[in-house]
Structure formats: C-alpha cells, structure tokens
Amino acid sequence: MKIIIPLDEYSGPQSKVCDHFGSAPFFALVDTVAGEVEIIDNKNMHHDHGQCTPADLFTELGASAVVVKGIGAGAVARLQSLGIAVFMAGSATTLIQVIESFGNGTLKKLEAQQTCQGHGCH
C-alpha cells in the first residue's frame, strides 16, 4: 500500500510531520510493501485557503491513503472522492512514528469534526 505523509522538513526518518496538509513543504510517498520512501516537493505550498490540489498527483502515484495531523474539509472530500482514505496521525510526530503506527493499524480514519477551519487552527 502507498501512503502520503505531509512533512515540515526532510531529514530522514525523524522528519517532522507538518501540522497542516496543504502547507507542507514536502510529502513522503511511503510504499509499505516495498519499504520505500520517496520525497515529493509540494509545488502548491503557497496557496489560498481551500485551493491546495495535490490529490490528482497522489492518485497518479497510486496512493491509497493520506496520514495527517490537520487537513481542511475540502481536501478531505476531494481525496475521498478519489478513493484515498484519510487517517489522523494522532500522537505520531515524525515520519518513522507515522509509518510504524500505520503499519500497526493504530491510526484512526478522520472524522468530519476533525477537519481544520483555516490555516491558524493549530
């Protein structure tokens, strides 16, 4: 399975997970079967609220899930409409912690009331 994780930085397994999906400078594409991690620059990092559209790219890359700390309702709706599940990172704060938590099955799918209402929500 391929999952997407938004990152504040890329400095290996200890990279910090970004608080808000659309504002992440990087996305990690993690292939949980092959054990591979690819880093993708977020070319749409500086956008108007509600205008972040990386979902089509994620579909092209074969992603099945996104793991976030925060995400807007519009982005969630778009991802879900493309068949991409959205999970909350919970207490995981680094790339390796998210990968391990996802692999252990301890992450929960996002519920509607958990979406962000703006960039200042964290």
CATH (domain of 34)? 3.30.420.130
**Ramachandran assignment for 100, one of left (phi > 0), alpha (psi -120 to 50 degrees), beta (any other):** alpha
Does residue 13 lie in a domain region? Answer: yes
Residues in the chain: 122
| Count of the separate structural domains present in the chain | 1
In 3D space, the residue among 79, 87, 84 whose CA is nearest the CA of residue 103 turns out to be 87
Mean pLDDT of 51-80: 86
Quick check: helix, strand or coil at residue 105? Answer: coil
Q: What percent of the chain has pLDDT over 70?
A: 82
Does residue 81 lie in a domain region? Answer: yes
Does residue 121 lie in a domain region? Answer: no
Does residue 46 lie in a domain region? Answer: yes
| Residue 66: how many other CB atoms lie within 10 Å | 24
Read off the pTM.
Answer: 0.86
Q: Are 3 and 66 in contact (CB under 8 A)?
A: yes
Query: H helices within 1-114, ranges in order?
Result: 55-60, 73-81, 95-104
Q: Is the pLDDT of residue 46 over 50?
A: no
Does residue 120 lie in a domain region? Answer: no
Query: What pLDDT was estimated at residue 119?
Result: 45
Q: What residue numbers bound the domain in which 16 lies?
A: 2-114
Task: Give the chain's mean pLDDT.
Answer: 85
Does residue 76 lie in a domain region? Answer: yes
| Residue 40: how many other CB atoms lie within 10 Å | 17
Mean pLDDT of 43-71: 76
Separation between Cα atoms, residue 53 and residue 70, nearest integer Å: 15
Does residue 97 lie in a domain region? Answer: yes
Does residue 106 lie in a domain region? Answer: yes
- Give me 59's structure tokens: 């579909």
| Residue 24: how many other CB atoms lie within 10 Å | 25
